[in-house]
Amino acid sequence: MSGEFELINRHFRRRSPRDDVVLGVGDDAALLRPPAGQVLAATVDTLIAGVHFPEQTDPADIGYKALAVNLSDLAAMGAEPTWVTLALSLPHADEHWLHAFAEGFHALAARHRVALVGGDTTRGPLSITVQALGWVPEGQALRRDGARPGDDLYVTGTLGDAGLGLAVLQGRAQVAAQYRAALLERLNRPEPRVEAGLALRRLASAAIDISDGLAADLGHLLAASGVGALVELPSLPRGDAVLVADPHGQLAMTAGDDYELAFTLPPGREGELAALAGRLPPVTRIGRIEASPGLRLVDAVGDPVAFSLQGYDHFREF
């Protein structure tokens, strides 16, 4: 449609950073040249105003995050992102909003050399759906179903920052002023762990990204692998603000929006992981995979700890 056309042209058509885009935005479909010997990784995620981000969020942050959550899914597969499509529904035309949204989106796309190859814009409640495509050599993908008893359990980065940032934003928590900006940055501009995912190919036995809280997402990994896990709560990596607000680790276990990776490492491969230090964000061992199904939490002396592990579920009653 003509309006969509002009909109996409004005804000979303950029010179492609890739020479594998045969035909980009502007035809009925994009035409894309696959690399040899790899499999295509495809994922889709939607962000809806009021559900996935507060209504008043800076549109540049919305644009950034809509792409980031999808790149995070590819990272969790060990896939290299190449192309994305964007479906944008907006209640009314707002040039300033669109300009800022596109800037946030393209800032992250450029950093990962990802090309926006197609889009659809419609009038409707504010909602953004991104589909991300990437590539991984066949047999090297980081799946959820490869964890085995005896594997060690790791996470990248720190946990709970984004959740605490949201709580601060909503007035449910208070933190020292010096932490506020960094927590909101974690909430609004999560760093998809693309390089970590690539580095962990052929090393991690399983991986998942932590979008809905470690407990919930680790639960998916455990279920897919048919195993359980023991998590040592004091080991959960937390920044200073989260350590103060969440001394027992409940927030780190359950808060969403961190977009770190949880992964499992087969026994005897710690040296290879350590050798990747320059290519990885900080990684922390938080527990181990066990044969018995379920998730067990223990304190510093190994005693069981129980608290609610209800994660963040956007559509719980389904």
- The interface with its own copies within residues 126-155 (CB under 8 A) comprises 127, 129, 131-134, 136, 138, 141, 143-145
Cβ neighbours, 10 Å, residue 172: 9
The nearer residue to its own copies, 24 or 239, going by C-beta atoms, is 24
Which of 178, 179, 152, 143 lies closest to 164 in space, CA to CA?
A: 179
Q: Which residue in 68, 102, 187, 216 binds its own copies (CB under 8 A)?
A: 216
54, 111, 124, 275: residue in contact with its own copies (rule CB under 8 A) = 124
32 binds its own copies (CB under 8 A): yes
Q: What is the CA radius of gyration of the chain?
A: 20
Q: Give the pair of three-digit tokens for residue 306.
A: 């129980």
On whether the CB atoms of residues 144 and 225 are closer than 8 A, the answer is yes
Residues 41-70 contacting its own copies, CB under 8 A: 41-46, 48, 51-52
Counting contacts by CB under 8 A, is residue 40 touching its own copies? yes
Rounded-to-integer distance, Cα 60 and Cα 244, Å: 30
177 sits near its own copies (criterion: CB under 8 A): no
The pairing of strands 115-123 and 80-90 is parallel
On whether 226 is known to bind a ligand per the annotation, the reply is: no
Confirm whether residue 209 is marked as ligand binding: yes
Distances (CA, A) of 112 to 82, 94, 161, 194: 8, 27, 23, 8
* Binds its own copies by CB under 8 A, chosen from 53, 63, 114, 121: 121
Residue number with CB closer to its own copies (46 or 57): 46
Tell whether 120 is in a known binding site: yes
In degrees, rounded to 5, the angle at the alpha carbon of residue 213 between the alpha carbons of residues 210 and 217 is: 60
Contact segment (CB under 8 A) with its own copies among 77-85, 159-167, 279-287, 293-301 equals 77-85
Sheet holding 283-290, edge to edge: 206-210, 260-265, 152-156, 283-290, 228-232, 294-298, 304-305
- Exactly one of 7, 159, 187, 252 binds its own copies (CB under 8 A); which one? 7
Least CB distance to its own copies at residue 47 (A): 8
161 is in an annotated binding site: no
1 counts as binding its own copies under rule CB under 8 A? yes
Which CB sits closer to its own copies, 124 or 267? 124
Question: Using CA of residue 58, residue 62, residue 64, residue 68, what is the dihedral sign?
Answer: positive
The reply on whether position 162 binds its own copies by CB under 8 A is: no
Instruction: Pick out the residues of the known binding site.
Output: 28, 43, 45, 52, 73, 119-120, 144, 209, 211-212, 257, 312
